[in-house]
Amino acid sequence: MGRPAKFSEDQILDAALAITVESGPGAATMAAIAARLGGPVGSLYHRFGSRDLLLATLWVRCVRRFQEGFVAAVTAGDVEAAALHTPAWCRRHPAEAAVLLLYRREELAAGWPAELGAGLGDLNARASAELKALATARGLGYERLVFALVDVPYGAVRRYLTRREPPPPSVDELITATCRAVLS
């Protein structure tokens, strides 16, 4: 029987997240992550197998955490809450928001790990399905709905995140006005 793990998966991913946000994805090496944790590099390889797998797992975790509230708002049919989820989530989770909105997944993991391949195709499936259902229920075009609930909020927060600032509350008013205009 092996020794119990000294660090949980979330602790390892949190260390990788902090390094990525502070210094960019290139700085999130296995050695740097291990040093941040105060543990051996070998334990990271034992848990993840590769740097690409670790950083890809981090990216997937960020996507899933973001989508929880977004999908809940879309499922409830609350378009304004869905549109405002992005700036609110960015304020509550600035590090994860920076990873999702500032780095493409290809920048984090040079080669997308096969271990994540099966789940990757399903990553956005529920959000897409709920958006399609809402578009149908409201008699809206799917692309129009995605523009209002995804593209506009993303564009509104991106410039603040690139400056490492939370989106100001005034962004919410602009997103709401745009959402109403696009969907009316």
What is the DSSP track for 67-128? HHHHHHHHHTT-HHHHHHHHHHHHHH-HHHHHHHHHS-HHHH-SS--GGGHHHHTTTTHHHH
pLDDT score for 52: 87
Please give the pLDDT value at position 56: 87
- Residue 85: count of CB within 10 angstroms of its CB: 23
Sequence spans of domains, the chain: 52-183
pLDDT digits (tens, 9 = 90+) for 128-149: 999 999 999 999 999 999 999 9
Kindly give the parts of the chain with pLDDT less than 70: 1-5, 104-112, 117-121
- Specify the pLDDT at position 121: 65
* Residue 56: closest CA among 110, 130, 136: 110
Q: Is 118 exposed, middle or buried (0-12, 13-18, 19+ CB in 10 A)?
A: exposed
pTM: 0.88
Mind listing the pLDDT tens digit for each residue in 72-81?
A: 999 999 999 9
- Report pLDDT for 103: 72
182 vs 146: CA distance, rounded Å? 10
